[in-house]
Amino acid sequence: MSDCILCGAQAQQCSDVKSGADVIELDAVAYSYGGGELLSDMSLTITPGAFYFLTGPSGAGKTTFLKMCYAALKPTSGALKLFGQDVLTMERNDIALVRRRIGVVHQDCQFIDHLSVADNIALPLSVSGQDNWDDTTNLKELLAWVGLSHRANALPPELSGGERQRAALARAIIMSPHIVLADEPTGNVDWEMSERLLRLLLELNRMGKTVVIASHDLSLIRSAKSQVQARVLRIANKRLQLAGANL
């Protein structure tokens, strides 16, 4: 069986993603901190292969929502399952294994400045103990896919904002995750680069990956909805809404 040129996974794995169990399930989930409730009574099922935008004003809790979706935070009430596993009962090792199936593109794009772009992208493989991974082929293909072949040996401080975001996306999918969570991935780049990043995320979705993008950019959302069946979630008044209706 041939490998997937974009993520290094077995080709059959890419086509089988949609047939799996629900990726994320929230049932009356709430999150509080410092004595105040930030998010309340959120219920949602994200199925394999879905494409979502997450919107809402600054401070509404979009980043907190995404952090719960990769178990960086646990809900203070309600039930949250990732790939069928209850987050509240998961041990550290369980969380580490689940996170291999979740790619995260952080808004701030933190890298290790003394490592090359290629080494930064491949870092999740080293951390997970996959040092024998065939990076000579798959890493080169991944770099080419995000348009960074010519920057493979550059250091992170030498990259432009758009290059950093593409490197962050490559790093997020190097483990061939089932879901990609992107927190304002186009917030610090121009429209042309925003469109380029969106095309990459749309291509991942067409491969069967679940995609959730937190974004304020209504033009980007309209562009995506013209190309894929994207749903729009909005956090307002501590609640999660879909297409203007409470879930």
Domains of the chain by range and CATH?
A: 11-20+47-77+88-246 (3.40.50.300)
Mean pLDDT score, 132-161:
86
- Per the prediction, the chain carries an average pLDDT of 86
pTM of the model: 0.88
| Separation between Cα atoms, residue 182 and residue 192, nearest integer Å | 18
Mean pLDDT score, 172-188:
91
* Residue 157, pLDDT above cutoff 70: yes
* Residue 17, pLDDT above cutoff 70: no
Mean pLDDT score, 17-26:
70
- Closest Cα to residue 203, out of 173, 241, 168? 173
- Report which residue type is found at 56: G
pLDDT band of 131, cuts 50, 70, 90:
low
Mean pLDDT score, 30-45:
91
Q: Which two tokens stand for residue 103?
A: 């790619």
| Separation between Cα atoms, residue 186 and residue 194, nearest integer Å | 5
> pLDDT by residue (tens digit) across 217-231?
888 899 998 899 899
| Separation between Cα atoms, residue 208 and residue 12, nearest integer Å | 11
Show the beta-strand stretches assigned E in 85-238: 85-86, 102-105, 179-183, 210-214, 231-236
Q: Please report the pLDDT score of residue 216 as a whole number.
A: 85
Mean pLDDT score, 140-144:
92
Cα dihedral 37, 43, 47, 50, rounded to 10, equals -60
Mean pLDDT score, 179-206:
90
Least confident of 1-15, 21-35, 73-87: 1-15
Mean pLDDT score, 2-10:
45
- C-alpha separations of 64 from 26, 61, 196, 240 in Å: 14, 5, 26, 12
- Closest Cα to residue 80, out of 95, 93, 92? 95
> pLDDT by residue (tens digit) across 85-111?
999 999 999 999 999 999 999 988 899
3-state secondary structure (DSSP) of residue 231 = strand
3-state secondary structure (DSSP) of residue 124 = helix
Cα dihedral 99, 162, 170, 132, rounded to 10, equals -110
Q: Please report the pLDDT score of residue 12 as a whole number.
A: 40
